[in-house]
Amino acid sequence: MAKYKGDILELLYHNRSTYLSGQTIAERLAISRTAVWKTIELLKQQGFRVHSVQNKGYQLTGFPEEWDQDMMALIIKQSSYFKRRFVYKEVTSTQLVAKEKLLEIDEPFIVISEVQTAGRGRFNRSWDSQGTKGLWMTAVFRRDVPLQKMMSFNLFLSLAIAKTIRRMSGAEAKIKWPNDIYIDDRKCCGFLTEISGEAALIQNIICGIGINLNHEASDFQQDLAVKATSLKAATGHPVNRYQFLEELLIEIEAAFRQFLVLDFKDIKDEYGQYSNIWQRKLRYTEGTTVVEGVAVEILDDGRLVVQDEKGTLHHFMSADIEI
Ligand code: BT5
């Protein structure tokens, strides 16, 4: 009954606030009620929770622990931008897989993996990517973009991610310029953007996003135990990973379209309200430059201005900020 799985899942997913009778499903898909029943059994075996009530029908109430290929197909089908998806149980890094796929595929696509054995942050730092708890994804945008515009890409994207986290968890997600999202001064998301194309014209934006969704506080080991959090650890409530992904894709697609037609100054006020670095004396490191000071402004081109104790202003393109 695997052949009806995708269709039945689609009906149940889009009607998950209610019950659908076996009769309705059978009629909508022009299949027998036995086929419906058998497919529902298959869904249950695969880890979906389907609540059934006599005279009412079926309701989808839970999802498998691991990413399910058919559910992923359903989520991506709804995306108006990303056309293809690649979902793995384990890869070294979705970023590396995406870079390989770039050579074969012209469309925008996403790569997701349950586990990354060599997940990476910026400067090749390691990214903790445990299975079933988070979202480890690379989104590949295809579009000619002038290189000088790219500076603002992370600013648009971080706002989209922070908004999704707030909406889906209720937690007060904040942006730590330039590319981290924090809750209660702990990191719940980091992302990195790599580009390829010709000299001054970018054609591919390869954006790797890692979000801790359903980790318990005790899942973070060693140094992460004091500096990382997840949406669940912060709020006490688990997040439905599929729904989160669905919302995130809508939000980042919208942010990408905005990025193409707007400048950072158009979203600067809103961005500023999400930022967690204002009015705090923090240590900023970029290469060999280390400055202790207070952030005073993000310029229209996305650079951050920090004032040190002597009143000197320092401009950063990107920096590590210790919080
Ligand atoms: C980042 O780098 O924050 C970018 C992380 C991007 C991860 C995604 S997952 C999908 C895609 N595939 C990849 O291989 N990567 C991308 P950075 O600003 O350099 O921060 C790295 C630092 O964050 C580490 O040195 C740790 O201190 C901390 N860290 C590592 N794993 C973490 C986690 N799961 N949650 C919070 N902090 C973490």
- Boundaries of every domain in the chain: 2-62, 69-273, 277-322
Of all protein residues, the one whose alpha carbon is nearest to atom 30 of ligand 1 is 127
Cα–Cα distances (Å) from 14 to 18, 75, 243, 252, 279, in that order, read 9, 11, 11, 21, 45
CA of 261 relative to ligand 1 center, distance in Å: 29
CA of 180 relative to ligand 1 center, distance in Å: 9
CA of 253 relative to ligand 1 center, distance in Å: 22
Q: Choose the CATH number for 2-62 among 1.10.10.10, 3.90.1580.10, 3.30.499.10, 1.10.3720.10.
A: 1.10.10.10
Residue 1: predicted pLDDT? 67
Beta strands in the chain (DSSP E): 49-53, 57-62, 84-91, 109-116, 134-146, 174-176, 180-183, 186-198, 201-212, 281-286, 289-298, 304-308, 313-316, 320-322
Answer whether residue 227 shows pLDDT above 80.
yes
Residue 154: predicted pLDDT? 95
- Which amino acids bring their CB within 6 angstroms of ligand 1? 93-95, 116, 119-123, 125, 127-128, 136-138, 180, 187, 190-192, 208-210, 212, 224, 228
Residue 19: predicted pLDDT? 97
Answer whether residue 225 shows pLDDT above 70.
yes
How confident is the model over 130-165, as pLDDT tens digits? Answer: 999 999 999 999 999 999 999 899 999 999 999 999
Tokens of 144: 């000619």
Residue 152: predicted pLDDT? 93
Q: What is the Cα–Cα distance from 302 to 263, expressed in whole angstroms?
A: 10
* Position 30 confidence tier, pLDDT thresholds 50, 70, 90: very high
Answer whether residue 199 shows pLDDT above 90.
no
Fold category of 277-322 in CATH? SH3 type barrels. (2.30.30)
Residue 323: predicted pLDDT? 87
CA of 120 relative to ligand 1 center, distance in Å: 6
Of all protein residues, the one whose alpha carbon is nearest to atom 11 of ligand 1 is 208
Contact in structure between 58 and 12 (CB atoms under 8 Å): yes
Residue 220: predicted pLDDT? 97
Answer whether residue 179 shows pLDDT above 80.
yes
CA of 12 relative to ligand 1 center, distance in Å: 35
Answer whether residue 126 shows pLDDT above 70.
yes
Give the residue among 77, 80, 68 at the shortest CA–CA distance from 43.
68
Q: What is the Cα–Cα distance from 271 to 160, expressed in whole angstroms?
A: 10
Residue 243: predicted pLDDT? 93
Name the percent of the chain lying above pLDDT 90: 95
Fold category of 69-273 in CATH? BirA Bifunctional Protein; domain 2 (3.30.930)
**Which of 90, 110, 127 should be mutated for ligand 1, with most atoms under 8 A from CB?**
127
Report, as an integer, the average pLDDT of 298-315: 95
Of all protein residues, the one whose alpha carbon is nearest to atom 3 of ligand 1 is 190
The pLDDT mean for the chain works out to 96
CA of 127 relative to ligand 1 center, distance in Å: 4
Answer whether residue 113 shows pLDDT above 70.
yes
Q: What is the Cα–Cα distance from 64 to 134, expressed in whole angstroms?
A: 14
Of all protein residues, the one whose alpha carbon is nearest to atom 15 of ligand 1 is 120
- CA 252 to chain centroid, in Å, comes to 8
Task: Write the DSSP assignment of 87-135 as a string of letters.
Answer: EEEEES-HHHHHHHHTTT--S-EEEEEEEETT-B-GGG-B----TTTEE
